[in-house]
Copies of this chain bind each other. A is one copy, B any other.
Amino acid sequence: MTVAPAPLGEAIAALREGRTAATAYVAERCGRVDAVESDVRAWVDGPKEREWLVAEAAALAERYPEPADRPPLYGVPVGVKDVFHVDGLPTRGGSDLPAGELVGPEAAVVTALRRAGALVFGKTVTTEFAYFEPGPTRNPHNLSHTPGGSSSGSAAAVAAGMCPLALGTQTIGSVIRPASFCGVVGFKPSYGRIPLDGLLPLSPSLDHVGLFTQDVAGMYAAAAVCLDDWLPPDDPKDSDHPVLGVPDGAYLSQASDAGRAAFEEHLATLDAAGFEIRRVRVDAFEAIEAINDRHTDLMAAEAALEHQEWLDTYPDRYADSTAAMLREGRDVPVGTVADARAGRHDLRESLAEAAADHDIDVWVSPGAPGPAPEGIDTTGDPVMNLPWTHAGVPAVAVPGSTVDGLPVGVQCTASFGSDERLLAWAGLIDAALGGASDG
């Protein structure tokens, strides 16, 4: 079996209380790597050497002998998508560019995780520069299927139980889609709530740092470390009965038949669990094609600006698909970029108005058009994630069900800045859907 439980919430409790030694936990995860990595291929050249990892865990244990003193992510091994700079490890970005071109100071979020006691376990496979050209990673639920992308290795490593936490990024749908495909919890916070410093940029107006875990409780703990200005909801009771909104219409019709059918089942389960569900036509989503085009233009234009000098110098070291996107980005007029950037805010406001008009707390939608497609030559379609990324609102993927053994996730989104509350609500939704995420 290439999937295995490794819920972060339980790991944190066991590590901090001393029921599991940090060295033992790391060794256990290394054991999972030995068992499945040759099939899953989640890591760039494998995780760090076992001796190095165990020595780091031992040093941490020595530093915090008293359970009461231990930081919130004490001893938690974290997989880092290979678009973040980590001191002591090269950054390759899934690219053939010379490694010397891709150096930089450690990403702020990596430093934050380390300070909270997490151990960098290794670099996870990314598509080339977090665009679409895939790496070798396979879906742990079915090795002949894609794990999704661009955070392919992070989603797969968490699903396979090789690490309980991993960092990813999402510019269109690169956290929520692979989380859905791999049956794990994915979280893409509000735009900017995790700083982008130390990340190889794809499109700075659209890039988001995100996280993967197997469980919502663990995600909540990791988010509390990584997000700026984390503020737990005042009154947890507020979170008890979120009203769920379903954005019916042009947007939803982008899902596949199988995806739609699974999503309807998830809604029925949630309805049976007592959630109020409102089907709403979101005006802004009727022009979904225009949003998709605007997003794609903005991404390509910003990527063209970021990559121009590299592409000039190393034209043959880019995959054709990436180079084609960068060349198309060059033709985008600056006014289109400016309008698209402004359009992000307009869409954010439209979504907030629709939610207010219908008293909706959480939008629910499919995490991907359907289950993971067969083959690893593509990473699937991010279209279900795109408008939420465009608006920069927080999104959480929770596991819904499986279709032919492949997971299908539910995407929960809420208004800009309500990340803390959304995670609390996602926990309720996840529990109602069967708590598949709790290992």
Interface hits, A302-355 → B, CB 8 Å: 304-305, 308-309, 312, 329-335, 337-339, 341-342
- Which of B308, B335, B342 is within 8 Å of A338, CB to CB? B308
User: Separation in Å of the A204 CB from the closest CB of chain B?
Assistant: 12
The reply to whether B335 and A334 contact each other, CB–CB distance below 8 Å, is no
Residue of B nearest to A309 (CB): B342
Instruction: Report Cα–Cα, A14/B309, bound state, in Å.
Output: 51
Instruction: Report Cα–Cα, A338/B333, bound state, in Å.
Output: 12
Instruction: Report Cα–Cα, A334/B312, bound state, in Å.
Output: 15
The reply to whether B331 and A305 contact each other, CB–CB distance below 8 Å, is no
The reply to whether A304 and B335 contact each other, CB–CB distance below 8 Å, is yes
Indicate how many identical chains form the complex.
2
Q: Is A301 an interface residue (CB 8 A)?
A: yes
We find that the number of chain A residues with CB closer than 8 angstroms to chain B is: 18
Instruction: Report Cα–Cα, A304/B332, bound state, in Å.
Output: 14
- Which of B301, B309, B339 is within 8 Å of A334, CB to CB? B301
User: Separation in Å of the A318 CB from the closest CB of chain B?
Assistant: 15
Contacts of A337 in B (CB 8 A): 305, 334
Contacts of A309 in B (CB 8 A): 342
Residue of B nearest to A334 (CB): B301
User: Separation in Å of the A301 CB from the closest CB of chain B?
Assistant: 4
Instruction: Report Cα–Cα, A388/B213, bound state, in Å.
Output: 52
Contacts of A332 in B (CB 8 A): 333-334
Instruction: Report Cα–Cα, A334/B298, bound state, in Å.
Output: 10
Residue of B nearest to A338 (CB): B308
- Which of B331, B335, B339 is within 8 Å of A335, CB to CB? B331
Instruction: Report Cα–Cα, A304/B301, bound state, in Å.
Output: 15
The reply to whether B334 and A338 contact each other, CB–CB distance below 8 Å, is no
Contacts of A301 in B (CB 8 A): 334
Contacts of A305 in B (CB 8 A): 334, 337-338, 341
Contacts of A308 in B (CB 8 A): 335, 338-339, 341-342
Instruction: Report Cα–Cα, A335/B334, bound state, in Å.
Output: 9
Contacts of A329 in B (CB 8 A): 334-335
CB-CB under 8 A for A330 and B331, given A338-B304, A342-B308, A342-B312? no
Instruction: Report Cα–Cα, A329/B339, bound state, in Å.
Output: 13
CB-CB under 8 A for A330 and B330, given A305-B338, A342-B309? no
Residue of B nearest to A298 (CB): B334
Contacts of A331 in B (CB 8 A): 333-335
**A residues lining the B interface (CB < 8 Å):** 301, 304-305, 308-309, 312, 329-335, 337-339, 341-342
Given contacts A330-B333, A332-B334, list 5 more A-B pairs with CB under 8 A. A304-B334, A309-B342, A332-B333, A333-B334, A334-B337
Cβ contacts A to B, 18 pairs, < 8 Å? A304-B334, A304-B335, A305-B338, A308-B335, A308-B338, A308-B341, A312-B342, A330-B333, A330-B334, A330-B338, A331-B333, A331-B334, A331-B335, A332-B333, A332-B334, A333-B333, A333-B334, A334-B337
Top-5 shortest CB links A-B: A330-B335, A308-B338, A301-B334, A332-B334, A305-B338
